[in-house]
Chain A
Amino acid sequence: DQQVKQNSPSLSVQEGRISILNCDYTNSMFDYFLWYKKYPAEGPTFLISISSIKDKNEDGRFTVFLNKSAKHLSLHIVPSQPGDSAVYFCAASEADSGGYQKVTFGIGTKLQVIP
Chain B
Amino acid sequence: DAGITQSPRHKVTETGTPVTLRCHQTENHRYMYWYRQDPGHGLRLIHYSYGVKDTDKGEVSDGYSVSRSKTEDFLLTLESATSSQTSVYFCAISESSGLAAYEQYFGPGTRLTVT
- Interface residues of chain A, those whose CB is within 8 Å of chain B, are 6, 32, 34, 36, 41-46, 49, 51, 89, 93, 100-103, 105-108
Pair B102/A100 contact, Cβ less than 8 Å: no
Question: Chain A's nearest CB lies how many Å from the CB of B17?
Answer: 25
- Flag the segment in B37-45, B61-69, B70-78, B79-87 that touches A: B37-45
Pair B50/A105 contact, Cβ less than 8 Å: no
Q: A41-B109, A43-B107, A100-B50 given as contacts; is B42 within 8 A of A106 (CB)?
A: yes
Q: A100-B56, A103-B45, A105-B42 given as contacts; is B102 within 8 A of A45 (CB)?
A: no
Bin chain B's interface residue count.
Answer: 20 to 34
The total of Cβ contacts below 8 Å across the A-B interface reads 51
A103: B residues at CB distance < 8 A:
45, 102, 104
Pair A46/B45 contact, Cβ less than 8 Å: no
Question: Chain B's nearest CB lies how many Å from the CB of A48?
Answer: 10
Pair B41/A45 contact, Cβ less than 8 Å: no
Closest chain B residue, CB of each to CB of A108: B42
